[in-house]
């Protein structure tokens, strides 16, 4: 007789991988092929994606390592011991605003893209508001529920991307992918930086690794979580170059969605695949947005330790909505996106640098703890 | 704890109830006295001597010892009382000399009565309780104890084919109103010594028999504890039927989705018990409850296991598709017509536009008119006597559909959409699940009317948010998709060949997870 038990509030390594992947895949990839076409030559953008992916995996690995150190503490309590409470509190408030902005970016992106592909007359404020309300409904539930939503939605998105890539197989002009390796290192690195922005989200491992059954698996799960988007991104990018050519790609607003437009569905059951593609894609954008909102709440709550979830939802939702609607046009919005990404990478790199110190400190406390026990 | 309580305040309520019941007991728990006349008067007095209370007094033995048998007419098997109680009593003591009442009582129980269901009790409340359950009470002069003879026998429906869950292949037996017959239907399928039947008398006034069943050694003990706690917390004058118990025990009353399954089929209950679930039978109700369930349980039918696995798998995929259509089809129609004309292939778009020519309403209104008409027809079909019910189907389906089209109120395409939706919603094994989807369908239609495809996907997301936060006795409703249980996928959409279904569902955390010996 075997006895299997699972704790209700714990997540397994595959679920953590799915979480990281869902957090990463969002709005970024929809525009990435255009951005890459602007910086790199021919189809060399995939090198940039790969470089960014490797860098992301490295950072994800380091941040995943925190999972073991944290134990049952929240991230704030842990980092507070390392760099004193006030600095940690300041850091967490930055984290809170970072994630609030992240969520607001997603809300605004949904509004913008829906306006382009689904609606003609509905105002984008209304679109964004309904989306945010649904997100509020999700975050006022349980954290474990948010993780489970990822598990429910990600398969749709991955399968859909696979189907689109498979169907686009027939219309790709392979000639467009050549020549290869013609871009200089400089532009490649610029492209890698741009790709890196779309990889943001793997730092969610910091906040969710404490919920894992075995936090030891966190680094591995995070690395896999980054690897899946990297592969998908490369596929989408190459297909875009193959179909639109590098020159044409620069003119297309959301190449990944346009890719779906070009695809012909066998049987011609319905037309304009891009609407369906984006509709399904909303699920993963929703996941990213929900988790960002949740982490903003979590960061805020860990500092102030006051209020229920619903209070934080009510507090943050108007802020998110307001800053999301602030950028006046697409250019301002793109700038806003880069701004968030810089903050994100700043935080991530800071934490990655802190890791060796954190580890030494924890080791020392473990060592002193054990000797204390013996004496 | 994994199987956690759903309602925070139910413990409190339970304790309150206990207190109240205690008071009742104080009032009525009066011991019987040794005088037979006093006892008879008191019992008749409490019941206010109704017409169906039968008192048969007689004297036994050489010294004419007074005895009386009381029962309620209609609840008892009269032949049984006559042959197994009165007859032996009158003939056994003709020659014997017995003085003390205690001796008579011992003799009566040990040697005289031939019926096998015999008990004793000492209070008026218990005696009356037994009387009202169909037992007979034997009182003897000088004895402060009543002898209870199990003699219940009343008319009940014979076992028939279930009305709501027909299947092509498999047993045709369905539960009936009589709980003893129902437990026997389960026992006959499951000769398992570890099958536990826990009996409750629920309802302050109705005292209805409710039986909770589970197989010890399979089911998770915490689940049993939690189910018991919830059953015991029921505090109501009459539980009325399985429906009331279901609502009382559910984790959430805000959800439209069933969190406890109901079924008329003994084989479904048996299957559930063997999977590590709990079954609940209620006296007077041919529906049994099975708990806990998840979303996917609603798409499973017992027939899936009687068919070849390929057929069963195909049927399940079809049901999943039906669930999708029943929920989203009208909404998709609305959103395509109102927002995304471009998505319809051009030839089809032309024919739809042609068919809609002359229809004065937007697609939403059209869809609502037809859907509401259909719901009305469905409801009317249930209420009307059977022969007329069929007529309603014909009138509704053919006449109204045809007439509405030719009158130009709705387009023929809309009729097709509504018909397909209706057919899809009839194809689920679980009726209560079909009702939930009906409700959700209307909500999604409204969402689609406002936001098109965007509204549909947001409603889909909302349903999923609801699912992940919904629990049935501690098991997330979205199991085994999230949290992931790969092993259980063998029997969710796919129904793997019987040889491969080696384990019980892992999400139920059974104590004995192996169904088959591994070679």
Give the ipTM: 0.92
Pick the CATH number of A13-351 from 2.60.120.620, 3.10.20.30, 1.20.1740.10, 3.10.129.10: 1.20.1740.10
Binned at pLDDT 50, 70 and 90, residue B519 comes out as low
Are B465 and A137 a contacting pair at CB < 8 A?
yes
Flag whether pLDDT at B219 surpasses 90: yes
pLDDT at A372: 40
pLDDT in tens, A24-73: 999 989 999 999 999 988 888 999 999 999 999 999 999 998 888 887 77
Quote the pLDDT of residue A2.
Answer: 30
Domain boundaries, chain A: 13-351
Say whether B454 and A114 touch across the interface (CB within 8 A): yes
Is A152–B464 a contact, with Cβ atoms under 8 angstroms apart? yes
Res. A18: pLDDT tops 70: yes
Task: State the pLDDT at residue A8.
Answer: 62
Average pLDDT of chain B, as a whole number = 86
* Structural domain contains residue B4: no
Statement to judge: residues B271 and B395 lie in one domain:
no
Determine the distance in angstroms separating the CA of A2 from the nearest CA of chain B, rounded to an integer: 7
Token reading at A319: 């802020």
- The residue among B263, B293, B323 that closes a domain is B293
Is B513 among the domain residues?
no
Tell me if residue B156 falls in helix, strand or coil.
Answer: coil
How does residue A236 score in pLDDT terms, banded at 50, 70 and 90?
Answer: very high
| Same-domain check for residues B89 and B222 | no
The b-or-e profile of B222-231 (16+ CB within 10 A means b, else e) is ebbebbeebb
Least confident of A150-164, B49-63, B304-318, B462-476: B49-63
Do residues B331 and B221 share a domain?
no
Helix (H/G/I), strand (E/B), else coil: B201: strand
Q: In this model, does residue B9 exceed pLDDT 60?
A: no
Query: Which of B449, B454, B460 best tests the A interface by mutation, with the highest count of A CBs <10 A?
Result: B454
Q: Are A205 and A221 in contact (CB under 8 A)?
A: yes
B14 or A309, greater pLDDT: A309
Domain residue limits at B276: 179-293
CA atoms of A81 and A63, how far apart (whole Å):
17
Asked if pLDDT for residue A299 goes beyond 60, the answer is yes
Q: CB B474 to CB A8 under 8 A?
A: yes
Q: Please enumerate in sequence order all residues whose Cβ is within 8 A of that of A36, keeping only pairs 6 or more positions apart, or say none.
A: A45, A48, A49, A191, A194, A195, A237
**pLDDT score, position B325:** 95
Token code pair at residue A201? 């989200």
| Residue A304 token pair | 């102030």
Q: Nearest by CB to A12, which of B458, B481, B484?
A: B484
3-state secondary structure B266-329: HHHHHHHHHHCCEEEEECCCCCEEEECCCHHHHHCCCHHHHCCHHHHHHHHHHHHHHHHHHHHH
Residue B471 lies in a domain: yes
Q: Are residues B242 and B352 in the same domain?
A: no
B464 and B318 within one domain? yes
For testing contact with chain B, the best of A116, A279, A281, A283 (most B CBs within 10 A): A279
CA distances (Å), origin B459, targets A128, A215, A283, B326, B446 = 15, 34, 11, 14, 10
Residues of B with CB under 8 A from a CB of A: 2, 4, 339-340, 342-346, 451-458, 461-462, 464-465, 467-469, 474, 476, 478, 481-484, 506, 509, 511-514
Helical axes A75-83 vs A85-117, angle rounded to 10°: 140
B132 and B223 part of one domain = no
Residues of chain A in contact with residue B343, where contact means CB-CB under 8 angstroms, are: 270-272, 275-276
Tally of CB atoms within 10 A around A303: 19
- For every residue of A253-304, DSSP letters joined together read SSHHHHHHHHPPPTT--SS-HHHHHHHHHHHHHHHHHHHHHHHHHHHHHHHH
Nearest by CB to A148, which of B453, B482, B514? Answer: B482
Mean pLDDT of A284-306: 93
Q: Given pLDDT bands bounded at 50, 70 and 90, which one contains residue B17? A: very low
* Residue B26 pLDDT exceeds 50: no
Average confidence (pLDDT) over A195-199? 91
Q: Read off the tokens for A136.
A: 């509020």
Q: Please tell me the distance from the alpha carbon of residue B357 to that of residue B411, in angstroms, as a whole number.
A: 8
What 8-state DSSP symbol labels residue B487? G
> Averaged over A233-252, what is the pLDDT?
92
Q: Does B327 lie in the same domain as B284?
A: no
| pLDDT of A87 strictly over 80 | yes
User: Domain check: are B66 and B211 in the same one?
Assistant: no
Question: Do residue B457 and residue B332 come from a single domain?
Answer: yes
Distance CA A236, CA A256 (A): 7
- The fraction of chain B above a pLDDT of 70, given in percent, is 93
- The pLDDT confidence band at residue A373, using thresholds 50, 70 and 90, is very low
| B391 pLDDT higher than 50 | yes
DSSP A120: S
Distance of residue A132 Cα from the nearest chain B Cα, in angstroms: 10
**Count of structural domains within chain B:** 3
Residue A290 phi/psi, 5-degree rounding, is -60, -45
Q: pLDDT band at residue B49, thresholds of 50, 70 and 90?
A: confident
Task: Please indicate, yes or no, if residue B235 is contained in any of the structural domains.
Answer: yes
pLDDT, position B196? 94
Backbone φ, ψ for residue B191 (5° rounding): -85, 65
Residue B347 has pLDDT above 90, yes or no: no
Q: Exposure pattern of A146-182 as b/e (b: 16+ CB <10 Å)?
A: bbbbbbbbbeebbebbeebbebbeeebeeebbeeeee
The torsion of the CA quartet B481, B485, B491, B497, rounded to 10 degrees, works out to 140
Question: How far is residue B347's CA from residue B336's CA, in Å, rounded to a whole number?
Answer: 14
Render A31-66 in DSSP notation, one character per residue.
HHHHHHHHHSSTTTHHHHHHHHHHHHHHHHHHHHHH
Q: Which residue on chain B is closest to A110 by alpha carbon?
A: B454
Pure H helices in B74-171: 78-81, 87-92, 101-107, 124-132
Which of B259, B293, B327 is a domain's end point?
B293
Contact B469/A142, CB-based, under 8 Å? yes
- SS3 sequence, B393-425? HHHHHHHHHHHHHHCCCCCHHHHHHHHHHHHHH
Asked if A270's CB is within 8 angstroms of B465's CB, the reply is no
Angstroms from A142 CA to nearest CA on chain B: 7
Dihedral Cα B353, B358, B360, B362, nearest 10 deg:
-10
- Span between the terminal Cα atoms of chain A, in Å: 42
Q: Which residue spans within B96-191 are E strands per DSSP? A: 118-121, 136-140, 146-149
Q: Which residues of B touch A12 (CB under 8 A)?
A: 483-484
For residues A117 and A108, give the distance between their C-alpha atoms in angstroms, rounded to a whole number.
14
> Residues B191-212: pLDDT tens digits?
999 999 999 988 888 889 999 9
Please state the rounded mean pLDDT for residues B289-318. Answer: 92
Out of A320-334, B169-183, B338-352, least confident range: B338-352
On chain B, the residues whose CB falls within 8 A of the CB of A270 are: 343-345
| pLDDT computed for residue B134 by the predictor | 87
Q: How far from the centroid of its chain's Cα atoms is residue B153's Cα?
A: 24
- Which residues of chain B make contact with A150, given a CB cutoff of 8 A? 482
What are B213's strand-pairing partners?
B197, B279
Q: Are residues B327 and B420 in the same domain?
A: yes
The confidence score (pLDDT) of residue B287 equals 95
Q: Are strands B475-476 and B471-472 parallel, antiparallel or unpaired?
A: antiparallel
Same domain membership, residue B232 and residue B342: no
How far apart CA B288 and CA B19 sit, in angstroms, is 30
- Which pLDDT belongs to residue A178? 82
Q: Are residues B321 and B455 in the same domain?
A: yes
Residue B483 lies in a domain: no
| In-domain check, residue B516 | no
Report the distance separating Cα B128 and Cα B70, nearest Å: 10
User: What is the arithmetic mean of pLDDT over B53-67?
Assistant: 85
- Residue B164 forms part of a structural domain: no
Is B514 in Cβ contact with A1 (below 8 Å)?
Answer: yes
Distance CA B236, CA B265 (A): 27
- pLDDT-derived band at B318 (thresholds 50, 70, 90) equals very high
């Amino acid at each position: 007789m075997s006895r299997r038990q699972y704790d209700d509030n714990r997540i397994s390594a595959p679920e953590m991988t799915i979480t990281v992947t869902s957090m990463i895949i969002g709005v970024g990839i929809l525009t990435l092929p255009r951005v890459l076409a602007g910086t790199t030559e021919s189809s060399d953008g995939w090198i940039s994606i790969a470089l960014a992916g490797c860098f992301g995996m490295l950072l994800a690995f380091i941040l995943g390592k925190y999972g073991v150190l944290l134990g049952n503490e929240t991230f704030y309590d842990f980092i507070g011991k390392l760099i004193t409470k006030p600095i940690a509190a300041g850091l967490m408030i930055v984290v809170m605003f970072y994630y609030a902005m992240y969520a607001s970016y997603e809300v605004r992106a949904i509004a913008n893209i829906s306006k382009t592909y689904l609606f003609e007359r509905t105002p984008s404020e209304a679109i964004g508001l309904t989306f945010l309300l649904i997100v509020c409904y999700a975050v006022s539930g349980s954290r474990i529920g948010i993780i489970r939503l990822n598990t429910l939605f990600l398969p749709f998105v991955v399968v859909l991307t696979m189907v689109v890539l498979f169907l686009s197989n027939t219309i790709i002009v392979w000639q467009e992918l050549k020549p290869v390796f013609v871009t200089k290192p400089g532009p490649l690195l610029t492209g890698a930086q741009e790709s890196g922005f779309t990889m943001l989200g793997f730092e969610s491992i910091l906040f969710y690794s404490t919920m894992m059954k075995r936090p030891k698996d966190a680094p591995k799960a995070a690395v896999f979580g980054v690897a899946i988007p990297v592969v998908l991104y490369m596929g989408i990018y190459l297909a875009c170059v193959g179909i639109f050519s590098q020159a044409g790609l620069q003119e297309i607003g959301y190449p990944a969605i346009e890719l779906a437009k070009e695809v012909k569905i066998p049987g011609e059951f319905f037309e304009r695949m891009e609407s369906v593609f984006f509709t399904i894609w909303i699920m993963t954008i929703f996941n990213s947005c929900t988790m960002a909102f949740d982490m903003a709440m979590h960061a805020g709550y860990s500092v102030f330790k006051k209020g229920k979830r619903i209070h934080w939802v009510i507090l943050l939702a108007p802020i998110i909505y307001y800053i999301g609607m602030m950028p006046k046009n697409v250019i301002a919005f793109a700038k806003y996106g880069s701004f968030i990404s810089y903050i994100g990478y700043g935080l991530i790199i800071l934490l990655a640098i802190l890791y060796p110190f954190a580890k030494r400190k924890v080791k020392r406390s473990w060592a002193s703890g054990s000797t204390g026990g013996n004496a | 704890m994994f199987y956690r309580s759903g309602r925070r305040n139910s413990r409190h309520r339970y304790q309150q109830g206990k207190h109240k019941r205690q008071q009742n007991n104080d009032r009525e728990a009066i011991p019987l006295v040794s005088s037979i006349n006093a006892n008879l008067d008191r019992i008749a007095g409490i019941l206010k001597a109704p017409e169906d209370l039968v008192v048969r007094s007689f004297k036994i033995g050489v010294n004419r010892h007074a005895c009386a048998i009381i029962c309620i007419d209609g609840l008892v098997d009269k032949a049984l009382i006559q042959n197994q109680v009165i007859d032996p009593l009158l003939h056994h003591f003709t020659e014997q000399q017995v003085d003390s009442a205690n001796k008579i009582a011992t003799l009566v129980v040990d040697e005289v009565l031939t019926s096998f269901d015999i008990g004793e009790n000492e209070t008026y409340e218990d005696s009356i309780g037994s009387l009202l359950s169909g037992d007979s009470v034997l009182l003897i002069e000088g004895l402060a104890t009543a002898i209870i003879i199990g003699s219940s026998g009343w008319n009940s429906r014979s076992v028939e084919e279930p009305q709501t869950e027909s299947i092509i292949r498999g047993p045709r037996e369905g539960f009936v109103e009589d709980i003893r017959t129902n437990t026997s239907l389960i026992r006959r399928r499951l000769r398992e010594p570890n099958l536990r039947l826990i009996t409750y008398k629920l309802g302050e006034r109705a005292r209805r028999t409710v039986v909770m069943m589970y197989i010890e050694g399979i089911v998770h003990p915490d689940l049993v504890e939690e189910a018991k706690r919830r059953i015991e917390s029921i505090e109501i004058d009459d539980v009325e039927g399985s429906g009331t118990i279901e609502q009382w025990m559910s984790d959430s009353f805000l959800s439209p989705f069933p969190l406890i399954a109901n079924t008329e089929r003994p084989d479904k209950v048996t299957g559930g018990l063997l999977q590590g679930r709990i079954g609940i039978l209620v006296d007077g109700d041919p529906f049994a409850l099975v708990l806990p369930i998840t979303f996917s349980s609603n798409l499973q039918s017992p027939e899936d296991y009687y068919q070849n696995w390929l057929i069963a798998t195909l049927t399940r995929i079809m049901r999943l598709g039906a669930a999708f259509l029943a929920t989203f089809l009208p909404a998709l129609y609305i959103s395509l017509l109102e927002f995304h004309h471009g998505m319809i292939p051009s030839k089809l778009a032309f024919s739809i536009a042609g068919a809609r020519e002359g229809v004065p309403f937007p697609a939403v209104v059209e869809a609502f008119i037809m859907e509401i008409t259909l719901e009305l027809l469905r409801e009317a079909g249930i209420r009307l006597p059977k022969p007329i019910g069929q007529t309603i189907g014909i009138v509704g389906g053919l006449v109204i559909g045809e007439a509405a089209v030719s009158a130009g109120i709705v387009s023929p395409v809309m009729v097709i959409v509504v018909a397909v939706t209706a057919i899809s919603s009839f194809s689920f094994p679980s009726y209560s699940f079909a009702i939930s989807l009906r409700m959700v369908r209307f909500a999604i239609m409204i969402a689609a009317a406002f936001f098109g495809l965007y509204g549909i996907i947001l409603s889909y997301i909302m349903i999923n948010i609801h699912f992940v936060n919904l629990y049935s006795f501690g098991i997330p409703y979205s199991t085994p998709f999230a949290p992931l249980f790969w092993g259980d996928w063998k029997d969710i959409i796919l129904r793997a060949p019987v040889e491969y279904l080696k384990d019980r569902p892992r999400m139920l955390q059974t104590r004995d997870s192996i169904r088959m010996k591994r070679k």
